[in-house]
Structure 1
Amino acid sequence: MIINKFFAAFSQLISKTSQVAKQPLVKQNLIQSEPMRLSKYLAQTSVCSRREAEKMIQSGMILVDGKKVESNIPVTSENKIQVFTKNGERMPVKQSTKVWIFYKPVGMICSHNDPFKRPSFYDFAKLRLKTDQHVISVGRLDFNSEGLIVVTNDGELARCMELPETKLQRTYRVRVYGTFTEEKLKKIRNGVTIAGVNYGPYWINVENRQSRNTWLIMRLESGKNREIRKVMQKFDLRVNRLIRQSYGPYKLMGLKPGDFYEAQIEPEIKRKLYLHTRKKLQNVQEQIQLEQTKLNIKTLDDQSKNDKLIEKQNNDLSEKKNINTNPPKQIHSKIN
């Protein structure tokens, strides 16, 4: 009943918006193009306070475009800024990057196109955020699942958070219907193979046992398509409710279905984004070096072939010259 009321209100909101707001939404130009002092830039990108930035500048802990800075110079988002602290290197996130937390209700899809015309998260997000920016969900929840979705306008950040090697932990409350035994719990913890695909192992505990339903808490560091449902089905258990409670450092924090709130980019995410960006840069540099090596080898091969051709031509000319300068002696036969 609550879900039906929610989507009835959602449909009315879309209808009113399409009738009244025929003018395009105002674009939110969040990119800082004007130069600003380095300390202010670092404060606005949540790296440190202005005072801390000024101290680090004096200590030679900040590089701009690969060069150590000794004064509070003007910078923009185009500059490559590296900050070295006691806890390692930190890199400012783009000023335009935003992160929101959304409680996705049951009955909403995380897709741009749906042949069945079901309510889409993307349509709802743009209406609630009042923006025509391109927003992206970090990971997905299927149609019948609910709970936390991290939303951002930065594709690189979303990609970084989704990658298995980032190892951002997801926590789920899962209600399963069927006979749930300690033996099944042990087997699920160890992980299973379904149709040649390995799932798990998992951190999983029983939260509450009912007559035929059991509430579980599960933690995953990656999420394959319908993973939890497939694993439970393997043990004759049917998932009849699935709620994602957290994704990395982000938690639902009392949100209700359909609620949004803007969150900070947590230090853990900044660090992982920096490592992800650095790895990509290293891969690009390695690829460039590989291509350069291949080009050098090809150049050497071509030079070697050219040298051999020149040598052959010189040899042929030498032979012709020898023939011309030393013609063969004529043999006269004696006539008796």
Structure 2
Amino acid sequence: MKERLQKIIARSGLASRRKAEEMIREGRVSVNSEIVREFGSKADIDRDEIRVDGKLICAEETKTYLMLNKPRGYVTTLHDPQKRPMVISLLPELGVRLFPVGRLDYDSEGLLLMTNDGRFAQHVQHPRYRISKTYRVKISGRLNAGEFRRLQSGLDLEDGKFIPDEVSLEEINPKSSWLILKISEGRNRVIRRAFEQLGHPVLRLIRTAVADLQLGSLGEGDYRFLKGWEIRQLLSPRKKSESLDRSREGK
């Protein structure tokens, strides 16, 4: 059901209705990637992607947390003007409205977290918490010793220096190589841009872990709910795992 935007924002707890009206006037509110400035504009919290300063607004629901093994050829948005396949189409009807935690671009694959808990998503994504992501990266050709040292010490990209937390060589083939990279940042296509600078375009990019949470044997396109201790570990990544919480999200 469509409602006025300022009412939806106020009910989310993000701001009062008057403050929400100011946000709309300042162009800080978008619906399905379109900036909305008109008072009286309406949206449907269950169908539309509503963001304030880039932050997704969602209805108050039972908190749900899952990991999906994202295949290549899917976008991690809830609305795509190009009508490309969206990751949400890989999930059955769960009775809750989920959104991706961070991004994996169209050609990337692997572990993608999804939830309806905005605070959890913000914690996992925020650079302050330095939650690492691990990737298997297949590149064209082979890195020589100098290129490998450059990658380890950091590359100057157009939006700042990129230094992986860890990098190791996994496999060398006649025309390609596999590497393992661990990073704690989320700049757009930063791994792809780094290897392009080295002259070795990325052929495959697979996220295999977020902090200590592993993709494991989860099949391509499949999902599973996170266990309670996995959720707590992501929220406190430096702490050891706690005892298993057999709550709904852990089943």
Relative distance call for 1:251 and 1:95 in structure 2 (3 A) is farther
Match 1:221 to one of 184, 189, 203: 184
Q: Deviations over 1:122-142 (max 9, x none)?
A: 2333xx2x2342212111100
SS of match in other structure, 1:171: strand
Q: Confirm or deny that 1:101 pairs with 2:63.
A: no
Relative distance call for 1:222 and 1:196 in structure 2 (3 A) is closer
Structure 2 residue aligned with 1:244: 207
Relative distance call for 1:219 and 1:270 in structure 2 (3 A) is closer
CA distance in 2, matches of 1:250, 1:258: 18
The Cα of 1:194 is off from its aligned counterpart by 1.4
The TM-score with structure 1 as length reference comes to: 0.50
Alignment RMSD (CA, Å): 1.8
Instruction: Say if 2:142 and 2:172, in contact at 8 Å, map to a contact too.
Output: no
CA distance in 2, matches of 1:226, 1:175: 15
Amino acid at match of 2:82: F
Write the mapping of 1:98-137 to structure 2, written as runs, cut at 5 A: 98-125=64-91, 128=92, 130-137=93-100
Amino acid at match of 1:103: N
Match 1:141 to one of 98, 104, 115: 104
CA distance in 2, matches of 1:207, 1:134: 38
The Cα of 1:95 is off from its aligned counterpart by 9.5
Structure 1 residue aligned with 2:234: 269
Instruction: Say if 1:172 and 1:242, in contact at 8 Å, map to a contact too.
Output: yes
Write the mapping of 1:1-336 to structure 2, written as runs, cut at 5 A: 96-125=62-91, 128=92, 130-265=93-228, 266=230, 267-271=232-236
Q: Which has the bigger relative contact order, CA under 8 A and spacing at least 6?
A: 2
Amino acid at match of 2:223: F
SS of match in other structure, 1:185: helix
Instruction: Say if 1:191 and 1:202, in contact at 8 Å, map to a contact too.
Output: no
Instruction: Say if 1:202 and 1:219, in contact at 8 Å, map to a contact too.
Output: yes
Q: Deviations over 1:305-334 (max 9, x none)?
A: xxxxxxxxxxxxxxxxxxxxxxxxxxxxxx
The Cα of 1:119 is off from its aligned counterpart by 0.5
CA distance in 2, matches of 1:191, 1:199: 5
SS of match in other structure, 2:236: helix
CA distance in 2, matches of 1:260, 1:179: 34
CA distance in 1, matches of 2:142, 2:213: 33
The Cα of 1:193 is off from its aligned counterpart by 1.1
Relative distance call for 1:165 and 1:149 in structure 2 (3 A) is same
Instruction: Say if 2:162 and 2:190, in contact at 8 Å, map to a contact too.
Output: yes
- The gaps in structure 2 that reach 5 residues or longer are 1-59, 238-251
Amino acid at match of 2:73: G
The Cα of 1:215 is off from its aligned counterpart by 0.4
SS of match in other structure, 2:83: coil
Instruction: Say if 1:136 and 1:158, in contact at 8 Å, map to a contact too.
Output: no
CA distance in 1, matches of 2:120, 2:157: 31
Identity of aligned residues (%): 28
Structure 1 residue aligned with 2:42: none
